Amino acid sequence: MGGRVRVVVAGATGYSGRELIRIVLSHRAWELVGAFSSRVEEGRAAAGARERSLSEVHPELSGLTRMVCQPFDEAVLAALDPGLIFLATPNEFSHEVVPSLLASGATVVDLSGAYRLRESALYPSYYGFEHVHPEPLSQAVYGMTELVRDQLPGAKLIANPGCYPTSIILAVAPLLEAGLVELSQPIICDSKSGVTGAGKAATSTTHFVEVNESFRAYNLFRHRHTPEIAQGLGIALESGQLIFTPHLLPINRGILSTIYLKLRPGIGRADLVARWEATYRDSPLVRLFPETQLPEIKFVAGQPYCDLGATVDARSGQAILVTAIDNLLKGAASQAVQNANLALGLPEEEGLR
Amino acid sequence: MGGRVRVVVAGATGYSGRELIRIVLSHRAWELVGAFSSRVEEGRAAAGARERSLSEVHPELSGLTRMVCQPFDEAVLAALDPGLIFLATPNEFSHEVVPSLLASGATVVDLSGAYRLRESALYPSYYGFEHVHPEPLSQAVYGMTELVRDQLPGAKLIANPGCYPTSIILAVAPLLEAGLVELSQPIICDSKSGVTGAGKAATSTTHFVEVNESFRAYNLFRHRHTPEIAQGLGIALESGQLIFTPHLLPINRGILSTIYLKLRPGIGRADLVARWEATYRDSPLVRLFPETQLPEIKFVAGQPYCDLGATVDARSGQAILVTAIDNLLKGAASQAVQNANLALGLPEEEGLR
Amino acid sequence: MGGRVRVVVAGATGYSGRELIRIVLSHRAWELVGAFSSRVEEGRAAAGARERSLSEVHPELSGLTRMVCQPFDEAVLAALDPGLIFLATPNEFSHEVVPSLLASGATVVDLSGAYRLRESALYPSYYGFEHVHPEPLSQAVYGMTELVRDQLPGAKLIANPGCYPTSIILAVAPLLEAGLVELSQPIICDSKSGVTGAGKAATSTTHFVEVNESFRAYNLFRHRHTPEIAQGLGIALESGQLIFTPHLLPINRGILSTIYLKLRPGIGRADLVARWEATYRDSPLVRLFPETQLPEIKFVAGQPYCDLGATVDARSGQAILVTAIDNLLKGAASQAVQNANLALGLPEEEGLR
Amino acid sequence: MGGRVRVVVAGATGYSGRELIRIVLSHRAWELVGAFSSRVEEGRAAAGARERSLSEVHPELSGLTRMVCQPFDEAVLAALDPGLIFLATPNEFSHEVVPSLLASGATVVDLSGAYRLRESALYPSYYGFEHVHPEPLSQAVYGMTELVRDQLPGAKLIANPGCYPTSIILAVAPLLEAGLVELSQPIICDSKSGVTGAGKAATSTTHFVEVNESFRAYNLFRHRHTPEIAQGLGIALESGQLIFTPHLLPINRGILSTIYLKLRPGIGRADLVARWEATYRDSPLVRLFPETQLPEIKFVAGQPYCDLGATVDARSGQAILVTAIDNLLKGAASQAVQNANLALGLPEEEGLR
C-alpha cells in the first residue's frame, strides 16, 4: 500500500461525503486514511462514544470499510499525513479551514462554495459571510474539469464547481467563447434538481410529504449559484443577460437544465454541435446526444457524465439546450475526483467507471 | 330528480372521464344518466359481457354509483335524452361525433383539441387529421372560463382548453392585453406536467420505471399545444415570440409553468399584480399568491384552482410568472364543469368545492 | 348560521388538522369558529405576529377561509363557546387538556392516543407518560365507528382510533366475534403506511431522500398501536396471539394491511364474507371487494372508506385479508367526523362525500 | 484481450440484461462479444435497420460501448464462439434454446425460471408450458450462490434463482436446516418488490399512475415463485407450511421481505444469528445486520448484497426476519455473475464491487 496517496474526506456524513468515500474506497491509486464530520456527534449521544463507524452512519457502506467517522479535528487530521483532502463541508467551515490545510502541503479539493467566486465582495450577499482569505481565493482553480484541464496538474486548491453551474457552464461556455450566441436576448436557465441537492438536514423543505407529488421554483433571481454561473460564462452579473431559476424535483438525485438562448444570424444546430465536439473531443465524461434523443435524468443518475443535447428552431434561431448530470457525482463528488486525479497526474476517469 | 339536467360522460374510462364522473355524481343540479367509452371493450373479454360497471373500471368509485360503462353508441346515447354531454374522448373521435351530438340539441363540452383551433389548416400538422367540420369549429366557444365568461351562457359547443394552455394563458393574456409586455424578447413557457397528462395508455413513456426518478423535456418547438397557446395570447404562431417547452414530472397530477417575459419600461410587479386583480376580481377559482409564496403543485392537486404568482427583477424588467393547476381539474374536468355551469345558467363553482 | 354547531380544531398545523379543517369548512351543519396550534409560533418569528392565517400555514386552503391559527389558549378557546372540539394534538397534550375541555360541556373528539387504552397501566411503557385522568379515560368511547355506533349518540369524549388499528380491527373483529378464527396460530398483521402517518415534524426518518425509493419495517413487536389492536380484538396483549409489524411506504397517504389468520375447520371465504356483509350492511363507508379485486391504496387515497378484501386457501384454511384506508381520513379526520356526526345526531357521512 | 472469456448476453433490451451488460463491460476477465434480443425489432422500424446500438436501447450505456444489439439468432450467436452465455430471456424462450446452447460447450446461466424447478410437472400450472427438456433440467445447478458454492465450479447450466426466492431462502434455509424452526406454524413471507421486477413491458400494471402513490398485493397463494421457495426450503408445496405474498412497491428497484416464523422452544435470537454467521462467514455478499438496525431497501439498491436482520420476541418465540436485496442484482444479474465467476474458477465478487 506504500505507494498509494493517503486521502481524507471531511464532511463524511453528508451525501457528497458518502459518494466520495465510495469512490475513494474503489480507487486503485488512493487509500482512505480518515473520515471526519462535525455532525458525527449528532448520532453519538446514545452510544456515548467519541466516534461512529462509517457503516453505522451510512449502512450502504457495510462490508466495504470498517473505518470510523471522527469529529473534525485539525491536529488529528494532520497526524494522518494526507496527500489529498476532500472537503464536503459547509461553506463557512471550508472558508475557515482551507488556509491551514493548505499549509500542511496536501492537495485540497473543496466542494463548498467558499473558494469559487473570484470577486470576494460577493460573499456577504450571496453566502452570508465576509471572505477573509484573499490569497487562497486568488490561487484556487475553479475546477470545471473539461474547461480548465491545463490548470489542474499540480494545483493545490481546487474549488469544485456547484451542481447547477456544472449543468449550465459546460453547455453554454463553449458557445459563448466561439461567438455563436446573440446576447441581446438573455440566456435563460431553467434548472430542476433532485432533493439530495438540498443536503441531509431535515427541514420542512426536505420533508417527504412537502416534496413528494409536488414541484416548485425557489430563490428566483437570487440563488447563490447565479454569480458562479455568470463568472463561468464571463457575463457581468448586473448585465441582465443571465436568468437562472432553480426548481425542486421529487426525486433523489439528478439535475436537468433547460437553457434558452438565441443563436447569431446564420448559426444553426450543426455549428453548435461542432463547437461542442471540438471542445469535448477528448473528454470521456461529457456525452453529446443526437438530435433524436435528448438527455434525461435517468441516463446519468449514479454516473459521472454530463450529457448535452440541443434543439434549434432554424427559422427563429432560438436554441434550447438540455443538459443532465447527477448532482452528487458530476455536480459534486465525481468531478472532485476528476480534478484530484488531474492534479495528481492520473487519468481523469480513474476510479469513476 | 325531475328538474335535474341529464348528463352523459363519453370517454369514461380515462382519467379526465373519471374526474368528470366524480364531479357530476356530487353535483346538485345534475344527474348522471350515461357513461360511455370506446375502450370499455378492452376489459370485457374475460367476463364476456357487453359492458362493465364503472366501479369495476374505476374501483375508486365503488359505493358511489352502480352505473355501467357502455361501448359508445350514438343511438343509445341519444335515447338517454341528455341535456349535457361531456366528451373526454380522443381528438379524432370528438371531431367526428360533435356535429351529430349538437344536432340532438344537447350542450356539448369537448375536452379534446378537436374544436379548439380556429384556424382549421393547423389540424393536419399538429393533430394529424384534416378538419372537415368548419361550421361547429367556427361556433365553438374556446372555454378559458375566466376570460370568456360573457360568451358562455347558452353556448352549445364549448371547446375546453388544453391543460398546458390553461396554465399559461390565464397568467399571460391579461398582461398582453394591457400592453405590459415587451415583445422584442420571446415569451418563454417552461412547463412541467404530471403523468396523467399523458393519458391512460400503457406505453414505454408511461412505464413507471421510465418516468420515476427521472425528468425529461419533450416535443421541443412542436407540441400541439403551441398553436393553442399562441391563439389564446393573440400571438402569430410564426412570429417567434412564443416558445413552449413541456416536461414530464414523476408525479401523478399537476402542472407548474415557469414563464419568462420582459415587462415594458416602467412596468413593475405592482402593475402586473394590479392587472391580475382587476381581471380575476370575481373569479373564485383563480388565486393570486403573495410575493413571499409562489404557487406549488401540491397546493392545487385535487383542487379546481389556477394559482398565479410573479417575481420581477426591477433592474432588468425581467418577470418570472409561476403558475400551477391540476391538469385533470382546472386543466380538464373542473374547467369543463365551470363552462357547463355557466352555459346552463348556474354559478361556475357549483359542484366544485 | 345560527343553528350550526360551533366547531374548534386544535392541532391545526398538522396533516390531520388540515384535513379536519377542510371537512368542517364544507360541512353543512357545522361552523368553524377557531383553529389553534401550539406549533403556530414556529412560523411567526419573521412576521412578529401572534398568529398566522390558515392559508399561510396551509396554502392549499387559500380561498376557502380567512381564519387565523392561534397559539393554543384554553381561555381563548372557551370564549368561542364551541359545541364540538377536535383535538389533533400530541398524546401528552390531549391527555392534559381533555378534562377541562370536557368541563366546558363541549363534545370532544381526541385524535391522539391519550384516551384509547382502557388499561391506564399501559401508558408509561407505550406512550412514555403516566395517565392521571382515570375518569375521562373510563368514560371515553373508543370510536371505531362501525363497531360502536350504538354508543356514540350523546357521547362527550370520543377517543378516535389509530390509523393502523382501524385498518386491522374493522377486518378482524367481526370474524373473531363470530368464532371463525383458529387462535392456535397467531394473527399476523403486516401493515404498510404512507409518510403522513409519521406527522409533519422534520426528522431524519421523514427526510425525502431517506424515504424515497426505499422501504423499511420499524418498531417490531413494540409499536404503540399493538395494545390498541389487541384491545380492539379482545386479545390479551401477552398471549402471543397477535403480531403487528408496521412499515413505511414512500407515498404520502394510505395504509394497506395484509393480515394472516387461520380459519377454523370448515370455514371458508363465503362464511368470512357473509360475516362482513352482516356487520357492514348499513355502513356506507366500509366497502367489501370481490374475490377478483383486492383493495389497493389508490382506491382509498383522499376518500373516507375502509376497503376490505379476502383470499382463502381452501385446502389449508389459511386466510389473507387485505385492507386499505387513507390514514389521514378513515384513519384520522374522516372517522373523527363520522364519530362527531353520530354523537350530535347527524348521519355519519355528513360532510364526507 | 486474448485470455478473456468471450461473453454473450441474450435478452439485452430488458432491465436484467442491461445490468448484466454493465457488469460484463467492467469485468476484468471477461469480454462482451455479443448482445441479442428478440425484442430489438420493436425499435427498428423507424430506422429500417436490422439492429440497434446498445446505447440507443439503453442511453445509460452511452460512452461505455459501441456494440449493437442483434435479433436473436443461434447461428450468429454460435459464430461468436462464446465461453459464457447469460440468458435474461422469457421463460419459454430459455426453455427452448438452452439444450442447443449447451451443446455448443458454453457455460449457460439462465436468469429465467425455465430450469429452476426440479419437478417438471409443476411447469404447466405455474409457468403455462409443458417442460420437454428433462435432461438439462436434471443437470441444472440451482444457483443460490452462497448455499451451493461447492456445486458451481465447472457447472455448465446454472438456473439463476428468482428475486423473491433469493430474499427468502438465504434467510430461512440455514435456520430450517439447523432445526431451529417450529413447523407447526406456517412460515409467512410477506414480500414487497419494486417495479423493475415486473419487467419492461408496458401494461396497465406498470403504468406510472397505476403504481405511483399506491401499493397492492397480488397473486395471493399462487405466485410462480411459491414452488421455487418451497423447493429451496425443502418444504412440501402442499404442506401448508409456507405462505408467500408478493406486493408491488412504487419504487424502481429492491425487494424487502418480512418473514414470520416460530422458533423451537429454547431457541433465541443469538442462536439464529450464530447460525447465519456460521453459514455466511466466507460470503462477502451477505451482510448480517445488528439488532439495532434492520435492513432497508435503500441500503442495497444498486448493490450486490443480500442483507439479513432479525428480531425475536423472547416470550413467544416468534421471530421476524427482515431481508433486502436489489431485485436486478442479487435477485438477478449480480447473482448470475457470482455464479458464472465460480463456475469459471474466479472469485465470486469479481466485477461486482
Cβ atoms < 10 Å from Cβ of C75: 6
Which amino acid makes up residue D304?
Answer: P
**Residue D48: pLDDT band by 50, 70, 90 thresholds?**
low
pLDDT at C48: 52
D60 and A307 within 8 Å at the Cβ level: the answer is no
Q: Does C172 have pLDDT greater than 60? A: yes
Rounded distance, CA D309 to CA D319, Å? 11
Residues D337 and D279 in one domain: no
Residues of D in contact with C298 (CB under 8 A): 210, 213-214
Which range, of B44-58, B312-326, D3-17, averages the lowest pLDDT?
Answer: B44-58
B185 and A190 within 8 Å at the Cβ level: the answer is no
pLDDT at C44: 44
Q: Does A1 have pLDDT greater than 80? A: no
Residues of B in contact with D208 (CB under 8 A): 195, 206-208, 211-212, 250, 252
Residues A187 and A156 in one domain: no
Residues B268 and B172 in one domain: yes
Whether A349 maps to a domain, the answer reads: no
Chain D: give the shortest CA distance to residue C189, in Å: 10
D209 and B15 within 8 Å at the Cβ level: the answer is yes
D171 close to D259: Cβ distance less than 8 angstroms = yes
Whether D110 maps to a domain, the answer reads: yes
Residues of B in contact with C294 (CB under 8 A): none
C·D CB contacts under 8 A: 132
pLDDT at B45: 41
Rounded distance, CA B259 to CA B238, Å? 19
Q: Which domain holds residue B96?
A: 5-160+332-343
% of chain A exceeding 70 in pLDDT:
96
Chain A: give the shortest CA distance to residue B308, in Å: 13
Interface check C296 vs B, CB under 8 A: yes
**Residue C353: pLDDT band by 50, 70, 90 thresholds?**
confident
Whether D44 maps to a domain, the answer reads: yes
Do the bridges between strand B286-288 and strand B306-313 make them parallel or antiparallel, or are there none, so unpaired? parallel
Which residues are CB-contacts of D311 (< 8 A; sequence separation ≥ 6)?
A: C220, C221, D269, D291, D294, D319, D320, D322
B252 and D15 within 8 Å at the Cβ level: the answer is no
Instruction: Measure the CA dihedral B211/B216/B218/B221, to 10°.
Output: 160
Chain D: give the shortest CA distance to residue C251, in Å: 5
Whether B349 maps to a domain, the answer reads: no
Residues A85 and A202 in one domain: no
CATH number at residue C110: 3.40.50.720
Rounded distance, CA B93 to CA B330, Å? 22
C167 close to C325: Cβ distance less than 8 angstroms = yes
CATH number at residue C185: 3.30.360.10
Which residues are CB-contacts of D196 (< 8 A; sequence separation ≥ 6)?
A: B209, D15, D252, D253, D327, D328
Residues B82 and B179 in one domain: no
**Residue A38: pLDDT band by 50, 70, 90 thresholds?**
confident
pLDDT at D345: 97
Q: Does C290 have pLDDT greater than 50? A: yes
Residues C217 and C177 in one domain: yes
pLDDT at B51: 79
| Residue pLDDT, tens place only, B31-84 | 999 999 987 555 444 445 567 999 999 999 999 999 999 999 999 999 999 999
In A, minimum Cα distance to B311 occurs at A220
Whether C353 maps to a domain, the answer reads: no
Q: Among A62, A284, A303, whose Cβ lies nearest the Cβ of D287?
A: A62
D295-305 mean pLDDT: 98
Which range, of B171-185, C40-54, C272-286, averages the lowest pLDDT?
Answer: C40-54
Residues 106 to 165 of D: which have CB under 8 A from any A CB?
none
| Residue pLDDT, tens place only, A292-313 | 999 999 999 999 999 999 999 9
Q: Tell me, yes or no, if D163 is annotated catalytic.
A: yes
Rounded distance, CA A263 to CA A180, Å? 6
| Residue pLDDT, tens place only, A89-110 | 999 999 999 999 999 999 999 9
Assigned C-alpha cell, C8:
374548534
D4 close to D26: Cβ distance less than 8 angstroms = no
Domain count, chain B: 2
Q: Does A78 have pLDDT greater than 90? A: yes
Whether A352 maps to a domain, the answer reads: no
Instruction: Measure the CA dihedral B125/B130/B134/B136, to 10°.
Output: -90
Rounded distance, CA D35 to CA D9, Å? 5
Which residues are CB-contacts of C131 (< 8 A; sequence separation ≥ 6)?
A: C95, C114, C120, C123, C137
| Residue pLDDT, tens place only, A141-188 | 999 999 999 999 999 999 999 999 999 999 999 999 999 999 999 999
D251 and C218 within 8 Å at the Cβ level: the answer is no
Interface check A213 vs C, CB under 8 A: yes
C212 close to A212: Cβ distance less than 8 angstroms = yes
Alpha-carbon Rg for chain C, nearest whole angstrom, is 20
| Residue pLDDT, tens place only, A200-250 | 999 999 999 999 999 999 999 999 999 999 999 999 999 999 999 999 999
D298 and C214 within 8 Å at the Cβ level: the answer is yes
Mean pLDDT rounded to a whole number for chain C: 95
Rounded distance, CA B324 to CA B302, Å? 12
Whether C22 maps to a domain, the answer reads: yes
Q: Does B3 have pLDDT greater than 90? A: no
Q: Does C46 have pLDDT greater than 50? A: no
Residues of B in contact with A207 (CB under 8 A): none
| Residue pLDDT, tens place only, D167-190 | 999 999 999 999 999 999 999 999
Q: Among B186, B251, B318, whose Cβ lies nearest the Cβ of A215?
A: B251
Residues of B in contact with C353 (CB under 8 A): 26, 64
Residues A194 and A181 in one domain: yes
Q: Does A40 have pLDDT greater than 80? A: no
Rounded distance, CA D40 to CA D52, Å? 7
Handedness of CA D264, D266, D268, D273 (dihedral sign): negative
pLDDT at D45: 41
**Residue A45: pLDDT band by 50, 70, 90 thresholds?**
very low
Chain C: give the shortest CA distance to residue A72, in Å: 22
Chain B: give the shortest CA distance to residue C56, in Å: 9
Three-state SS sequence of A175-225? HHHCCCEECCCCEEEEEEECHHHHCCCCCCCCEHHHHCCCCEECCCCCCCH
Angle (CA) C28-C34-C40 rounded to 5° is 130
D196 and B209 within 8 Å at the Cβ level: the answer is yes
Whether D350 maps to a domain, the answer reads: no
Interface check D292 vs B, CB under 8 A: no
Which residue spans within C88-212 are E strands per DSSP?
107-110, 141-142, 157-159, 181-182, 187-193
Residues D140 and D245 in one domain: no
Residues B243 and B173 in one domain: yes
CA A35 to chain CA centroid, Å, is 20
pLDDT at C309: 98
A73-98 mean pLDDT: 97
Q: Does A10 have pLDDT greater than 70? A: yes
In A, minimum Cα distance to C210 occurs at A208
| Residue pLDDT, tens place only, D85-104 | 999 999 999 999 999 999 99
pLDDT at A48: 52
- DSSP line for A68-118: EEEE--HHHHHHT--SEEEE---HHHHHHHHHHHHHTT-EEEE-SSTTT-S
Q: Among A240, A296, A320, whose Cβ lies nearest the Cβ of B316?
A: A240
C202 and A207 within 8 Å at the Cβ level: the answer is yes
Q: Does D224 have pLDDT greater than 60? A: yes
Residues B201 and B96 in one domain: no
In D, minimum Cα distance to A325 occurs at D60
Residues 238 to 257 of C: which have CB under 8 A from any A CB?
250-252
Do the bridges between strand D255-263 and strand D181-182 make them parallel or antiparallel, or are there none, so unpaired? antiparallel
| Residue pLDDT, tens place only, B85-140 | 999 999 999 999 999 999 999 999 999 999 999 999 999 999 999 999 999 999 99
Chain C interface mutation, best of A18, A203, A208, A248, highest count of C Cβ atoms under 10 Å = A208
Chain C: give the shortest CA distance to residue D300, in Å: 9
pLDDT at C3: 87
For the whole prediction, is pTM greater than 0.90? yes
Residues C98 and C199 in one domain: no
Residues A241 and A308 in one domain: yes
